[in-house]
């Protein structure tokens, strides 16, 4: 019978969910989804001193926003501490683990001597049963021991990695790692193996920063008499400079990207391309990615995070976002900031107008604020003396007042793109003006900004009544 595909994402709740973690979750989710398997969320919170529930909640919020749904979980390691102790007892009883009474001071001295000799620092096996026979320990009554794994001292650990192919590590390179600390809490390599066994994980897909842990975990699997999962180690994500990804490269919380106006579909699209590719596919949906995804198409080389490329991908997805969805996000954001939502403004047309010129939803929201009047209107004197109108400044404010008054008089009740353009041309010709001499004052009055989409579109979005109200209020203020 074919083995069920079961993958897992197992973050530690010691910090925010970042790009690298999301990419790992995405590939695990896509692989399980494509092959009709199960995707499990496991929270590795066995280290109670460093774990925080708020980070667990942030992880789940981030995955939910991205649409990466889990079939089982969240499963918390802190609820399974007895299971780890049970497995350690098995390892002790079969001779694959032993109690170690070495103090921190003795271990420090041991490593200092090894470093001085030019050797790789490691535990020297002082408390191994075969060593105690010839060199008994001093009185250790009352000393709480740690439990160490009795790693094989010869041979090789071999496995076929889903990305890297056949890998091999000499057991002489491995240490007798600690399984249980002296206070009884389990360590990472033990909990991972026990969890993967209990959850029937078929594929361990993770970053290659974990590759050094793999031979240690494989030896524990062998000691427990359990068959191995398939291991797949993904190349790391670097910054544009080739260095390890950090905050200066954009390694911020995934929820910060949400806050900054990125679209979940675009994040999925972009992160999928970091370490994987399919033919010439650049822009694709979540479902299309799942259909295309294959571990065989994962890269061996580290990928590089490029914020400008992410913005480009987001821009492409933003063009396809529904106006209803965008409108909901815009109005919600404005309401949260206590903007008066004038229902006369054609918000559907506004969203359509702005979404093709923005890279993020946040940029759209920022520009929408101008339409909903975030600041006082400019006076005619302020407009005429503004930097935006410096090259086309009117000799007298009264002339600007006349131009604006006649523009209003030229606008018919039939408020359409064509009629607005006719009014522009009529006033420009009547006073021999260039478009900025009319356009800049109108933008400053209507939006408080010298830049905007096409001016006739701006007027149409605001509507005739609002346009007249704002211009007349400015004319009255002078």
**In the structure, what pLDDT confidence band is assigned to residue 25 with cuts at 50, 70 and 90?**
very high
Q: How far apart are CA 55 and CA 43, in angstroms?
A: 10
Q: How far apart are CA 405 and CA 398, in angstroms?
A: 10
Q: How far apart are CA 398 and CA 404, in angstroms?
A: 10
Six-digit token pair at 270? Answer: 């972009």
Closest CA to 26 of 326, 303, 324, 260: 303
- C-alpha dihedral, 91 to 92 to 95 to 99, nearest 10°: 130
Taking the model in full, what pTM does it have? 0.89
Six-digit token pair at 58? Answer: 């942030």
**HSE (side-chain half, CA atoms, 13 Å) at 457:** 12
Helix spans in 415-477 (H)? 417-431, 435-447, 455-462, 464-477
Q: How far apart are CA 41 and CA 9, in angstroms?
A: 5
Q: What is the pLDDT of residue 252?
A: 84
Q: Is the dihedral of CA 188, 193, 194, 200 positive or negative?
A: positive
Structure confidence by residue, pLDDT tens digits, 332-379? 999 999 999 999 999 999 999 999 889 999 999 999 999 997 566 578
**In the structure, what pLDDT confidence band is assigned to residue 138 with cuts at 50, 70 and 90?**
confident
- C-alpha dihedral, 92 to 97 to 100 to 105, nearest 10°: -150
Closest CA to 307 of 350, 279, 271: 271
Structure confidence by residue, pLDDT tens digits, 273-283? 999 999 999 99
Q: Is the dihedral of CA 273, 278, 282, 284 positive or negative?
A: negative
Structure confidence by residue, pLDDT tens digits, 211-249? 999 999 999 999 999 999 999 999 999 988 888 877 676
Distances (CA, A) of 277 to 33, 301, 350: 18, 12, 36
CB 291 within 8 A of CB 34: yes
Does position 416 have pLDDT exceeding 70, yes or no?
yes
Q: How far apart are CA 28 and CA 40, in angstroms?
A: 9
**Tokens 């409108």 -> residue:** 327
**In the structure, what pLDDT confidence band is assigned to residue 296 with cuts at 50, 70 and 90?**
very high
What is the three-class DSSP state of 160? strand
Does position 112 have pLDDT exceeding 70, yes or no?
yes
Average pLDDT along the chain:
93
Q: What is the pLDDT of residue 139?
A: 67
């Amino acid at each position: 019978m074919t083995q069920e595909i079961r993958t897992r994402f197992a973050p530690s709740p010691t910090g925010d969910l970042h790009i690298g973690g999301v990419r790992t979750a995405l590939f695990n989710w896509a692989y399980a989804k494509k092959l009709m398997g199960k995707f499990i969320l496991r929270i590795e919170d066995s280290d109670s001193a460093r774990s925080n529930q708020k980070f667990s909640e942030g992880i789940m919020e981030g995955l939910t926003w991205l649409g990466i749904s889990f079939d089982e979980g969240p499963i918390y390691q802190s609820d399974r501490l007895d299971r780890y102790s049970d497995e350690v007892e098995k390892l002790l009883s079969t001779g694959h683990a032993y109690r170690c009474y070495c103090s921190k001071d003795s271990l420090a001295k041991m490593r200092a001597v090894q470093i001085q000799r030019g050797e790789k620092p490691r535990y020297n096996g002082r408390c191994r049963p075969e060593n105690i026979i010839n060199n008994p320990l001093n009185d250790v009554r009352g000393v709480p021991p740690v439990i160490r794994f009795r790693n094989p001292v010869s041979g090789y650990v071999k496995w076929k990695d889903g990305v890297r192919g056949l890998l091999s590590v000499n057991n002489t390179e491995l240490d007798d790692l600690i399984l249980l600390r002296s206070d009884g809490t389990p360590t990472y390599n033990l909990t991972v193996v026990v969890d993967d066994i209990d959850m029937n994980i078929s594929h361990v897909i993770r970053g290659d920063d974990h590759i050094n842990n793999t031979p240690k975990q494989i030896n524990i699997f062998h000691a427990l008499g359990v068959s191995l999962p398939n291991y797949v180690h993904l190349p790391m994500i670097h910054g544009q400079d080739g260095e390890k990804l950090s905050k200066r490269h954009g390694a911020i919380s995934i929820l910060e990207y949400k806050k900054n106006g990125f679209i979940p579909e675009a994040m999925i699209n972009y992160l999928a391309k970091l370490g994987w590719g399919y033919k010439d596919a650049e822009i694709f949906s979540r479902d299309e990615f799942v259909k295309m995804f294959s571990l065989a198409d994962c890269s061996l080389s580290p990928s590089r995070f490029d914020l400008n490329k992410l913005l480009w991908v987001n821009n492409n997805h933003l063009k396809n976002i529904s106006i209803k969805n965008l409108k909901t996000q815009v109005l919600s954001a404005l309401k949260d900031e206590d903007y008066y939502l004038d229902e006369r403004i054609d918000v559907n047309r506004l969203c359509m107008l702005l979404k093709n010129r923005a890279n993020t939803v946040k940029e759209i929201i920022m520009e929408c604020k101008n339409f909903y009047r975030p600041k006082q209107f400019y006076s005619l004197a302020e407009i005429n003396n503004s930097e935006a109108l410096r090259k086309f400044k009117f000799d007298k404010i009264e002339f600007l007042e006349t131009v604006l008054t006649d523009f209003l008089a030229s606008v018919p009740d039939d408020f359409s793109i064509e009629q607005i353009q006719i009014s522009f041309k009529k006033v420009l010709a009547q006073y021999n003006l260039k478009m900025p001499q009319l356009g800049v004052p109108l933008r400053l009055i209507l939006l408080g900004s010298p830049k905007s989409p096409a001016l006739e579109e701006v007027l149409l979005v605001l509507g005739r009544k609002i346009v007249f109200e704002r211009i007349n209020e400015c004319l009255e203020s002078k």
